[in-house]
Structure 1
Amino acid sequence: MSTNVNGKEMNVVGHLSELRNRLMVTAFAFVGFFILAFIFIKDIYSFFESDIDFKLTVTSPGDIIWIYFTIAGLVAIVATLPVLSLQLWLFVKPGLTEKERKVSLSYIPAVFILFLGGLVFGYFMFVKLILPFLLNLNDGMFNELFTVDKYFRFMMQITLPFAILFELPMIIMFLTSLGILTPDFLRKSRKYAYFILLIVGALVTPPDVVLQVTVAIPLFILYEISIYLSQIVYRKKIKRHLEYMNE
């Protein structure tokens, strides 16, 4: 009995040690990407600044270092996402079957691409629709002075929610594989999901119906894609269950 307990304790310690090593690899990758982004910070900043026709202002020396760390941190987070996903996959890999390993491994690039796609979509909506709409409301009434910290904070408030929302297909596929969600439930809940997505679109856009609908439509399409992918996962799950029962 004592040997068995000691074995379990050693097994838990081994898993915790491996998890720590995986997290350390991820942390080192983040630091590496952060330093790399910090080196090229002027080029990255110039990319963002090229999409606006006004000069951003700083009101204190602290704003300068803030924007350096903010931009470098965002770049590092995005670049580290595949590394984190891979390390988590390597951690759970021993407990998966060969087929499960191949399927779950394909999730890693999909998670990164969807997150990046959400950022790009959110940034496009911000630069091409939301920001021009807000600037047009001024119509010469006020002097425009945009500080770098408030501009980038506002931009991140718009873009980051889209990056998270674009992970919806992966989340739904994962929950379907666990048996928590089914395609039928997603179809029956469609109107409620649309309502929630519409609210989310309204929260990240100015109070303009056209803008809110423009933002919500891609989210509706994303939900429909999620239902389709959920159907594929559900069918494969049922098929595996029937094959197991017939053995």
Structure 2
Amino acid sequence: MNEQPLLAHLIELRTRLVRALLGIAVVFLGLFHWSSDIYHLLAKPLLDALPHGGSMIATEVTSTFFVPMKLTMLAAFLISLPHTLYQIWAFVAPGLYAHEKKLVLPLVASSLVLFLTGMAFAYFLVFPVVFHFMSAVTPAGVSMMTDIDKYLSFVLGMFMAFGTTFEVPVIVVVLTRMGVVTVAKLREARPYVIVGAFVVAAIVTPPDVLSQTMLAVPLWLLFEVGVLVASAMERKARRAAEAESAQ
């Protein structure tokens, strides 16, 4: 590891933060012209589920401008996230040992991929099912017209829920690598994990069985994936230790 004085660390941190923010700003400026199209793309699952002639509404005077801008800023953050993560990595990597770098880099990359996969799962699979279900159960005489700001808040909440739950394999691997829990204990806890998955799904998703099931089942399956990966890493570490002791 390279030791640097505190002032040098602070200057380096400032430089990395400025570069990360500039990356987000550049992407935002590039997307600014298409902010309305970006929001329409986000709203498409709901718009497709609305009855013929249905539409969304804006209950605030400034919503038609600020809501698409807010979404565009979030889109810019996600698109520039690899650049931001690189800046973070460039700051912390000199202070890590070689074996720590080998562990951290794959974990960060897999966490990003899994989070984005969870968002895509929600957008392409969960939203169409949930919105069509909500549209189908709308009482007679009631028009399903959602406010654009509330819709954005709902969608972001769902993205966070699915993106976070898709991090389960990474969490399982980290816990086993830290020695907090063993693979054997995780397998013994499988029935509790399944029940817990449905409890979590009931808390973070709308109050319908479809969306709860579509979160709980992947959550359980991702736990199983994490157990398999942790088990493979455990066997590899055991073989390496045996080979080292035999020398």
- Superposed pair shares fold, TM > 0.5: yes
Could you say which structure has the greater relative contact order, defined with CA pairs below 8 angstroms and 6 or more residues apart?
A: 2
Distance 1:95 1:48, change over 3 A: closer
Structure 2, unaligned stretches of length 5 or more?
49-53
Please point out which of 44, 57, 67 is paired with 2:38: 44
Query: Which amino acid in 1 is paired with 2:13?
Result: L
Alignment TM-score, normalising by the size of structure 1: 0.82
Q: Aligned residue for 1:24?
A: 18
Alignment TM-score, normalising by the size of structure 2: 0.82
How far, CA to CA, are the matches of 2:180 and 2:90 in structure 1?
24
Distance 1:224 1:111, change over 3 A: same
Please give the root-mean-square deviation of Cα atoms over the aligned residues, in Å.
Answer: 2.7
How far, CA to CA, are the matches of 1:211 and 1:50 in structure 2?
18
- Report how many residues are paired: 239
Query: Which amino acid in 2 is paired with 1:16?
Result: L
Report whether the alignment pairs 1:219 with 2:213: no
Q: Aligned residue for 1:70?
A: 70
Deviation at 1:13, TM superposition (A): 3.2
Deviation at 1:199, TM superposition (A): 1.4
How far, CA to CA, are the matches of 1:166 and 1:75 in structure 2?
19
Question: Is the 1:86–1:108 contact (alpha carbons within 8 Å) kept by the matching residues of 2?
Answer: no
Deviation at 1:183, TM superposition (A): 1.6
Q: Aligned residue for 2:186?
A: 186
How far, CA to CA, are the matches of 1:228 and 1:34 in structure 2?
40
Question: Is the 2:24–2:80 contact (alpha carbons within 8 Å) kept by the matching residues of 1?
Answer: yes
**For residues 60-119 of structure 1, what are the alpha-carbon distances to aligned partners after superposition, in whole Å with 9 as ceiling and x for unaligned?**
321122212221122123223323332332233224444543453333432222111110
Deviation at 1:122, TM superposition (A): 1.4
Distance 1:68 1:214, change over 3 A: closer
Question: Is the 1:182–1:234 contact (alpha carbons within 8 Å) kept by the matching residues of 2?
Answer: no
Distance 1:180 1:44, change over 3 A: same
Distance 1:59 1:216, change over 3 A: same
Query: Which amino acid in 2 is paired with 1:204?
Result: V
Deviation at 1:225, TM superposition (A): 0.4
How far, CA to CA, are the matches of 1:218 and 1:169 in structure 2?
11
Q: Aligned residue for 1:5?
A: none
Deviation at 1:238, TM superposition (A): 4.1
Query: Which amino acid in 2 is paired with 1:44?
Result: I
Deviation at 1:133, TM superposition (A): 1.6
Question: Is the 2:162–2:215 contact (alpha carbons within 8 Å) kept by the matching residues of 1?
Answer: no
Q: Aligned runs of 1:131-170 on 2, under 5 Å? A: 131-170=131-170
**For residues 22-69 of structure 1, what are the alpha-carbon distances to aligned partners after superposition, in whole Å with 9 as ceiling and x for unaligned?**
232222222222222323213312323433143211123211222122
Q: Aligned residue for 1:111?
A: 111
**For residues 147-196 of structure 1, what are the alpha-carbon distances to aligned partners after superposition, in whole Å with 9 as ceiling and x for unaligned?**
11112212222222101111222233233333333322322222222222
Deviation at 1:211, TM superposition (A): 4.1
Question: Is the 1:30–1:76 contact (alpha carbons within 8 Å) kept by the matching residues of 2?
Answer: yes
Query: Which amino acid in 1 is paired with 2:14?
Result: R
How far, CA to CA, are the matches of 2:145 and 2:205 in structure 1?
21
Structure 1, unaligned stretches of length 5 or more?
1-7
Question: Is the 2:38–2:68 contact (alpha carbons within 8 Å) kept by the matching residues of 1?
Answer: no
Query: Which amino acid in 2 is paired with 1:205?
Result: T
